[in-house]
Amino acid sequence: MSLSNDQIKQNVRHHYKQIALQNVTSASNCCSSSSGCNCHTSSDSSRLSEQLGYSAEELAAVPDGANLGLGCGNPQAIASLKPGEYVLDLGSGGGFDCFLAARQVGASGRVVGVDMTPEMVSKSRQNAAKGAYDQVDFRLGEIEHLPVADQTVDVIISNCVINLSPDKLQVFKEAYRVLKKGGRLAISDVVLTAELPPDVKNDLDISYSGCISGAASIIDLENMLKAAGFVTIVIQPKDESKEFIKEWVPGMNIQNYIVSSTIQAVKP
């Protein structure tokens, strides 16, 4: 069975709509055979985020409900954000990484989060209001067609989202378009380390919405980034991520096929 891009997008949008609406309070709300992985209780979200490299101080600094435990890494650790910079978050979810970025760029900086799920955008805007983040803006849109002007962004961050796109080359072309000259990518995402079994690759519920079958290999990602125009490309797998990845879909040994990585690149 061949899945169309629209099928994939609609499934992913529905999955994250449910997470946003249910405001996860127990694993049974969205962690089931029909809803994929990457879903946690609030305590699990904090535990996972600490595993990913976020500090307890960072976790305490964001509004309640911003950290949905949906990431697979910590783009903040490689972004080297500076006061006054314009940061764009691809697939901003509840706003977690946007709010942390706002603390680093300060009042003179700007942070924009883009998400294709209306319910997530609404949730993140509510969180921004709770935390009085005046320099943070959330926009509805697809990461393949960013609602952002050309050459305006200093840094693009993203946390386990680009794998969900069925057209990653277009995502990287859009990232290149909106970045200023010298702008940089600082991304955490999963990469493919072995060929997925056909039953996993074509299962929408446990694969695409669960950050599995959409993963690309390091070589493919490098080629796409080069084709988009990026230079100084560094993709670094994190073998320790297998410890939490194996919990995404218990019993399927997903950690044998994907691993979390940091992805960095520069627009010349």
Query: Which of the four pLDDT bands, split at 50, 70 and 90, describes residue 211?
Result: low
Using the predicted structure, report yes or no on whether residue 29 has a pLDDT greater than 50.
no
Burial label for 223, CB within 10 Å (0-12, 13-18, 19+), is middle
Using the predicted structure, report yes or no on whether residue 203 has a pLDDT greater than 50.
yes
Greater pLDDT, 204 or 256 = 256
Tell me the average pLDDT across 249-254. 79
- Helix (H), strand (E), coil (C) string for the chain: CCCCHHHHHHHHHHHHHHHHHHCCCCHHHCCCCCCCCCCCCHHHHHHHHHHCCCCHHHHHHCCCCCCCCCCCCCCHHHHCCCCCCEEEEECCCCCHHHHHHHHHHCCCCEEEEEECCHHHHHHHHHHHHHHCCCCEEEEECECCECCCCCCCEEEEEEECCHHHCCCHHHHHHHHHHHEEEEEEEEEEEEEECCCCCHHHHCCHHHHHCCCCCCCEEHHHHHHHHHHHCCEEEEEEEEHHHHHHHCCCCCCCCHHHCEEEEEEEEECC
Q: Which two tokens stand for residue 138?
A: 């959330």
Q: For residue 27, what pLDDT is reported?
A: 34
Q: For residue 46, what pLDDT is reported?
A: 67
Q: For residue 30, what pLDDT is reported?
A: 33
Q: For residue 159, what pLDDT is reported?
A: 93
Instruction: Give pLDDT tens digits for 30-49.
Output: 333 333 344 444 556 666 77
Using the predicted structure, report yes or no on whether residue 251 has a pLDDT greater than 90.
no
* Percent of the chain residues topping a pLDDT of 90: 53
Burial label for 194, CB within 10 Å (0-12, 13-18, 19+), is exposed
Query: Which of the four pLDDT bands, split at 50, 70 and 90, describes residue 25?
Result: very low
CB neighbour burial string for 68-82, b if at least 16 within 10 angstroms, e if fewer:
bbbbbbbbbebbebe
Greater pLDDT, 1 or 64 = 64
Instruction: Please give the residue range of the domain that contains residue 180.
Output: 5-266
Instruction: Give pLDDT tens digits for 106-134.
Output: 999 999 999 999 999 999 999 999 999 99
Instruction: Give pLDDT tens digits for 230-241.
Output: 999 999 999 888
Q: For residue 178, what pLDDT is reported?
A: 98
Which range has the top average pLDDT, 67-81, 161-175, 195-209, 251-265?
Answer: 161-175
Query: Which of the four pLDDT bands, split at 50, 70 and 90, describes residue 70?
Result: confident
Query: Which of the four pLDDT bands, split at 50, 70 and 90, describes residue 83?
Result: very high
- Residue among 62, 53, 56, 139 nearest 102 (CA): 62
Here the CATH number for the domain that contains residue 51 is 3.40.50.150
Q: For residue 8, what pLDDT is reported?
A: 65
**Full-model pTM:** 0.86
Q: Which two tokens stand for residue 238?
A: 């994190």
Q: Count how many domains the chain has.
A: 1
* Percent of the chain residues topping a pLDDT of 70: 78
